[in-house]
Amino acid sequence: MTQDELLARLNGIEWNDFECKRAQRGVPEDAYKTVSAFANTAGGWLVFGVSEVNGQLEVTGVEEPDKVQNEFLSVLRGGQKLNRVIAVEAHRFEIDGKHVFAFHVPESSRSEKPAYLKGDPRQSYLRRGAGDEQFTQSELERFLRDAAQDRYDGIALTDIPVDQCFDEITVKWYQAQFARRNPEHIEITDPIEFLLNWNFLIERDGQVLPTRAGILLFGIARYVRQVLPRPVLDYQRIDRPFEQWSADERWHDRYVFEENIFQTWQGLVARYMRIAEHPFSLDPATLRRNDDPPDYVAFREAAINLLVHQDYGDHGRKASIKLFTDRTVFWNPGDAFATEAELLDPTEKEVRNPAIVKAFRRIGLSDQAGTGIRAIFRNWHELGRTPPQLKNDKARKAFELVLINKPLVTDGMLRFRQTLGTNLTPEQADALALALSLPEGEPLTLTAIRSLGIRTTQQARLVADHLVRQQLFDQLSDTQFQVRETIRQRFAREVEAQPIDQAGTKSGPGRDQVGTKCELSAEQRIVLAQMAEEHDIATLMQWVGRSNRSKFREVVLLPLLALELVAMTIPDKPSSSKQRYRLTDQGRAMREEIGE
């Protein structure tokens, strides 16, 4: 943290990653509660020498800086006040002649949580909002379960009979998928031997015992309920937009899954197929096909992420999927051990249920290690939609993923970009559209830019830096940016200025606004020249040699629609699988000009 960044934070309010203490002549006792809370949650900055005066943060200074700093750091390194050595990063500033310290407390690793005071695990704290809250008993149990050396799903169960607990149909289905996916392995036909070979059963003291993963994945329903006395998943379809729905209202379709995980997955896919945006067929054995439509890929990865990563030791909360007309919300008990930025990296992640995760990967029902969240974001972006929302709540140990059925680049955004007088790459244009879609005052982070299908933080920074140079963005910090206020105001005026047609939608430019044929790109000319009848988007893409559907729509097709040169055959259902495109009268006139 630099001094300028500290001063900027002091102009705001204390929040979940920022806490100030007066600490004039000594370390206040409650500072160690904040250290525990930051270490147990997502880390944060603890500042000494700042007080709250009349609701504002004010620099009051540390009067004995060497004493306070040495006392604080020695306690954290001593491992006596807290059960762990906490390695903080210390910064010392002088502001208006007053000494201020900023200590960054890192998040502890899974195995080192919880960090607690006075040798008592019950004196563990969480950071929620601007406060430090002591663990409840349930919260303590969640953290201890995640920290355990023996993973919860791999523990053997001594009170369940091996010869009665497994569902034969599920095991045979899995064996068939495994043999098809892994032909290099010698096929093991005997179910017990197969489960032993892959550690869903283990041998101990002459006994063969099922593991929790074995029961949860393959068990008969009554034994699943014995291991997990709450549902695996609560599925709800709600035929209303999210903002118009109240929790008091009844769902339109609901199923509470209490069978094993693989049966839950099969039942979930069957329900999804009834409402799929792009109708398709699946291999009934594998539940996959090679040309999976992007919306199914995103749903599949999100649903599998929910099934394999939830905390099955949490018997008080259940996973849920809520399908609204404008979004799908996946909620899980159990946080991800990685940060949001790390979830977008193509690297191996530490997982809560390694045995369950491996079981899915062995039959190809989950993408390769570390890529599931990336696949969700990539495929949602291919559909041209606003990036998914992630909320990895490390305090409540919960994870939420929201797939929002809303276009990222609207017709109004396309028209506005034509007024900017600058050329933007598709990545830069997407970043601008995303920033303009955020509530006023909410910054755009490098992680959010990466959610647009950009692979690395360095590439995201190049995108943001270009938009700053073009005076479209203001840089707020090393990782945060914001649309320049004049640009936001221009965008608002442009959208507001579009006339409303009789159908109640904004009208695009008329024929007299199109200009000359020279303003069309080479790809747009090819489309107009070859469009004789009604064609699907795949045919149009083939004409110009493009393979990325979302980029083709943004760069080639949407401008032609906005200029009313091309029209949809099913305009009230833009995403229909039966959607085709045809020339308008204006488009045919333009094609004749191109042919001259």
Q: What is the distance between the alpha carbons of residues 253 and 275, in angstroms, rounded to a whole number?
A: 11
Q: Label residue 510 by pLDDT band (50, 70, 90).
A: very low
In sequence order, the 6+-apart residues with CB closer than 8 A to the CB of 525 are 517, 594
- Residue-wise pLDDT tens digits, 9-61: 777 655 778 999 998 889 999 999 999 999 999 999 999 999 887 778 889 99
For the whole model, what pTM was predicted?
0.77
- Mean per-residue pLDDT, 569-595: 82
- Residue-wise pLDDT tens digits, 361-398: 999 887 655 567 888 888 888 888 899 999 999 999 99
* pLDDT value at residue 91: 92
- Residue-wise pLDDT tens digits, 168-207: 999 999 999 999 999 999 989 999 999 999 999 999 888 9
- Burial label for 548, CB within 10 Å (0-12, 13-18, 19+), is middle
204 forms beta bridges with: 207
The runs of H, that is alpha helices, within 52-150 are: 65-78, 137-147
3-147: CATH number: 3.30.950.30
- Burial label for 545, CB within 10 Å (0-12, 13-18, 19+), is exposed
User: The tokens 């495994």 sit on which residue?
Assistant: 178
**Fold category of 510-596 in CATH:** Arc Repressor Mutant, subunit A (1.10.10)
Q: Which residue has the higher pLDDT, 435 or 15?
A: 435
Domain ranges of the chain: 3-147, 151-309+337-367, 510-596
Same fold, 3-147 and 510-596: no
Residue 428 has pLDDT above 70, yes or no: yes
Per-residue b or e along 83-100, where b marks 16 or more CB atoms closer than 10 Å to that residue's CB: bbebebeebebeeeeebb
